[in-house]
Amino acid sequence: MMDFELNDTERMLSDTLDRFALSAATETGAHWQHCLDMGWHIASVSEELGGFGLGLNGPVLVARSLGGLLSPLDWARDALLPAILLAGLSPDDPRAAQALDDFLAGTLKPVVAAADAENRVSLPKTVNLALALTDGGTRLIWMEQPELTGAETISVAGEETVSIPLPDAPGLALSKDLTDRLRTAAHVVAAADRLGAMEKAFAMTLDYCRTRHQFGRPLSGFQALQHRLVDMSIACDETEALVLAAAMAATGDRPDAMRLATAAWARASDLGQRLGEEAIQLHGGIGMTEECEVGCYVKRMMARQPIVSTP
């Protein structure tokens, strides 16, 4: 049986994330700088390398909070996967060891991106090093100081990205162990981000149903709607349990970590879609408008996917 209680370090991290959520700025740069100042980007790195040694437990807490904030940051792309990749390569690659040191110090901002069917990667406009994964995440192409010229897009979170072609290079073959760790982390953190969005969408819907009156009483007073709200609450609890179970399995290096990570993402994907649909429907006509923020959380759930897919 798994113990879902947070330890002292994880509880401190959770408390600081709660305080951050109450006063967070809206700019991408401000979010990233705050994460650097607090050292959240190195939560998964082992203590021997200078990190907090929280495995996936710490990054899950961060990603969950960022999802609830609609933060433009993609925690897997911007922090967790670069940390895992550079730490995994550093014992045998001096270039990776130096990049890891710079990342830990906050002077280098690497991102991990997966190549699409057209052999292109989408990168944020502020990046020093792009670690591009090809062939289903099994090969790595280094892109130092990439030239970010090309088609620009704006994500649902308001982040500007540029799609650029990959250089004509064979890439470095990654070990199966490192590839598995990347896939597990990508799925767990994507599920955690979706969980944060789900919880916020449910909270907004519950608050709306408690304050919106119809036929002389609040919407939450109608039994049929109460059942739908309970289903939304259960969806959040079920997703949370799977996300935490997967994170703890990965942190403990258990053999079922990838299976749990895949299950966590599958359920978060399915339950998140259902919850999003319910949130919009229970808001009524206003739920379909741009003025209603609940739609932003539904869009985030639809847009965020694991960077490294399963084979």
Is the confidence at residue 1, as pLDDT, over 60? no
Return the pLDDT at 7.
77
pLDDT, tens digit, for every residue of 190-202? 999 999 999 999 9
pLDDT, tens digit, for every residue of 96-144? 999 999 999 999 999 999 998 888 998 888 888 999 999 988 999 999 8
Which strand (E) or helix (H) includes residue 129? strand 129-134
- Whole-number mean pLDDT of the chain? 89
pLDDT, tens digit, for every residue of 40-59? 999 999 999 888 899 999 99
CB-based burial of residue 271 (10 Å sphere; 0-12 exposed, 13-18 middle, 19+ buried)?
Answer: buried
Return the pLDDT at 287.
80
pLDDT, tens digit, for every residue of 146-164? 887 776 777 766 778 888 8
Proportion of the chain above pLDDT 70, given as a percent = 95
Contacts of 256-260 with C-beta under 8 Å, sequence gap 24+, read 257/184, 258/180, 258/183, 258/184, 258/187, 258/310
pTM as predicted: 0.92
Q: What is the CATH number of domain 176-303?
A: 1.20.140.10
Residue ranges per structural domain of the chain:
176-303
